[in-house]
Amino acid sequence: MENLISKSTNIDDYEILIRKRGDGQYASYCPQLNKMLTGGEHMEVQNKMLDDIEEYIKTLKTLA
């Protein structure tokens, strides 16, 4: 099975899934980028992933 990375420049096309892995351990996952991040707080991993998505979209726009 091939993991396809999104080429959308619409931020609403990207999902951020967050999971608590234990005490002070959180993970966020974006299926459209096939990317996972970890951190110590819910908002930390959510904001880190959102920043990465925004940076990815910015890169796509410069390549267009």
Average pLDDT, stretch 30-42?
97
The pTM (predicted TM-score) of the whole model is 0.91
pLDDT at 9 (0 to 100): 96
Q: What is the pLDDT of residues 7-17, one digit of tens each?
A: 999 999 999 99
Q: Where along the chain do its domains lie?
A: 11-63
Rounded CA gap, 27 and 42, in Å?
Answer: 8
| Nearest alpha-carbon partner for 59 in 14, 21, 22, 8 | 8
The pLDDT mean for the chain works out to 94
Average pLDDT, stretch 24-38?
97
DSSP string, 31-58: TTTTEEEEESSHHHHHHHHHHHHHHHHH
